[in-house]
Structure 1
Amino acid sequence: MLEIAKEAAKLAGDFLQERFLEQLVPDAELHNDVKLPEDKESERRIIEVLHRHFPTHTIFSEEVGLVEREAEYLWIVDPLDGTNNYFIGFPYFSISIALQVQNELVLGVVYNPVAGQMFWAEKGKGAYLNGKRISVNQRTDRTRAVGTYIRGRHSITKEEELAFTKPFVMETKRLLRNVAPALDWCLLANGWLDYVVMQRSSIMDVAAGIVIAREAGATITDWQGVPYRHKAFRVEELASLVATNGQLHDTIRGYIQE
């Protein structure tokens, strides 16, 4: 299943990279989002690969929604993580594919085609980047910590975002807003980032990244400090999480203002 997920991500990623330098024409431009035909084509290629190999599996993908079949196996697909980045020519985007089996996340693949980065992980088997095992860093100094903020596109106002992020901006070295959530979690997994803070965002956006970060040794909790435990996927369910290298977890969580 891992190899098929990687195949699907690579196929879609190669297509997206071919189109990346073109002048893209959106289907729609919204206040917080943009709809691109490339999103749909990437999705079509991923679903074709998954259903060719696993015709009885259910798939949830961002554009087509739920393609319901056998409920035990659910593929959670974001065919273009970072659509807005892709649209404006910013090379920070990925394809994200996760597998939920009996309501548990067991596999994640995140592929950044521009950088040639293929992240993957299976439950209990570690996390990898292009075949090399990866892990979170051991930084303890908050003043050198770099993190990223992920927010729900339709659940957080700009005023709320400004108020919430101020402590992280002031107390740590840098807070990024990369707008490609799955890839953010992979940067944490490889020790490039020290923390991720997520505010009322869909698990669909980060399911694969969560598997990869968890297998790389990240500490993942809700805002109250309760260890993250995946629930049966529901698209309407939003999550507020904090993930760190473990060394900085209590410090970072202490900056959260609910």
Structure 2
Amino acid sequence: MIEIAKEAAKYAGTYLQERFLQQLIPDEELHNDVKLPEDKESERRIIEVLHKHFPDHTIYSEEIGMVERKEDYLWIVDPLDGTNNYFIGYPYFSISLALQYKGDVILGVVYNPVAGQMFWAEKGKGAFLNGKRLEVNKRDDLTRAVGTYIRGRNSVTKEQELEFTRPFVLKTKRLLRNIAPALDWCLLANGWLDYIVMQRSSIMDVAAGILIAQEAGALVTDWNGEIYHHEDFDKERLPSLVASNGVLHEKVRELISE
């Protein structure tokens, strides 16, 4: 299944890379988002591959919604994670696929076609980047820590974002706002980031990335410190999470209350 997920991601990624840096014409521009035909074509390619190999698997994808089947397998697909980045020619975007079985995520694939980065994980088997096993870093100095902030598109106002992120900006080395959450979790998995704070973001955007980070040794909790466990997929669920290399976790979590 992991190899088929990689195949689907590469098939979509080849198309997205061909279209990247073109003068893209959106179907719709919204206040916090943009709708591109490239999103839909990427989705079509992913679904084509998945249903060719797994015709009885259910698929939930961002553009088309739920494609119901009778199996206990559910693919959670974001065909273009970082659409706004893609639209403005910023090479930080990915294709994200997670597979849920009986309510638990068992594999995840996140593919950045521009950088040639294929991240993947199977539950209990570790996380990998292009075949190299991933592991979070051991940084313990909060003032040298680099993190990223992820928020829901329409669930947090810009005023709330500014208020919430202020302690992280002031007390850590750098807080990024990359607007491609699946890929952010993979950077944590490879030790490039030290922490992530997520505020009311859709699980669809991050399911694959969270598994990859967890399999690389990241500690993922809710804001109260309770260990995160994937719940049966619900597109309306907007969890708020904090993740880190484990060493910095309580120091990062304390900044939330500030």
> Aligned partners of 1:95 and 1:35: how far apart in 2?
16
Percent identity of equivalent pairs:
77
In the alignment, what sits opposite 2:193?
193
- What amino acid is aligned across from residue 235 of structure 1 in structure 2? K
> Aligned partners of 2:12 and 2:26: how far apart in 1?
18
In the alignment, what sits opposite 2:115?
115
Return the offset for 1:21.
1.5
**1:161-172 equivalent positions in 2, closer than 5 A:** 161-172=161-172
Larger strand share, 1 or 2: 1
Deviations 1:65-124 (A, max 9, x none): 000112510000000000000000000000000000000011000000000000000000
- What amino acid is aligned across from residue 64 of structure 2 in structure 1? V
Return the offset for 1:30.
0.1
Return the offset for 1:257.
3.1
In the alignment, what sits opposite 2:79?
79
> Aligned partners of 1:17 and 1:239: how far apart in 2?
31
**1:122-201 equivalent positions in 2, closer than 5 A:** 122-201=122-201
> Aligned partners of 1:34 and 1:9: how far apart in 2?
21
In the alignment, what sits opposite 2:103?
103
In the alignment, what sits opposite 2:205?
205
> Aligned partners of 1:102 and 1:134: how far apart in 2?
27
5+ residue gaps, structure 2, are: none
| Moved beyond 4 Å, runs of 4+ | none
Deviations 1:222-243 (A, max 9, x none): 0000000110000011100000
- What amino acid is aligned across from residue 22 of structure 1 in structure 2? Q
In the alignment, what sits opposite 2:218?
218
> Aligned partners of 2:244 and 2:9: how far apart in 1?
26
In the alignment, what sits opposite 1:52?
52
Secondary structure of the 1:105 match is: strand
Secondary structure of the 2:161 match is: helix
- What amino acid is aligned across from residue 146 of structure 2 in structure 1? V
- What amino acid is aligned across from residue 228 of structure 2 in structure 1? Y
* TM-score of the pair, normalised by structure 2: 0.99
- What amino acid is aligned across from residue 94 of structure 1 in structure 2? S
- What amino acid is aligned across from residue 132 of structure 2 in structure 1? K
Q: Per the alignment, do residues 164 and 71 of structure 1 end up closer, same or farther by CA in structure 2, a change over 3 Å counting?
A: farther
5+ residue gaps, structure 1, are: none
> Aligned partners of 2:43 and 2:10: how far apart in 1?
12
In the alignment, what sits opposite 2:8?
8
In the alignment, what sits opposite 1:30?
30
> Aligned partners of 1:71 and 1:213: how far apart in 2?
27
Aligned residues: 258
> Aligned partners of 1:106 and 1:119: how far apart in 2?
14
Secondary structure of the 2:220 match is: strand
Aligned-residue Cα RMSD (Å) equals 0.7
Secondary structure of the 1:239 match is: coil
> Aligned partners of 1:30 and 1:60: how far apart in 2?
23
1:40 lines up with 2:4 in the alignment: no
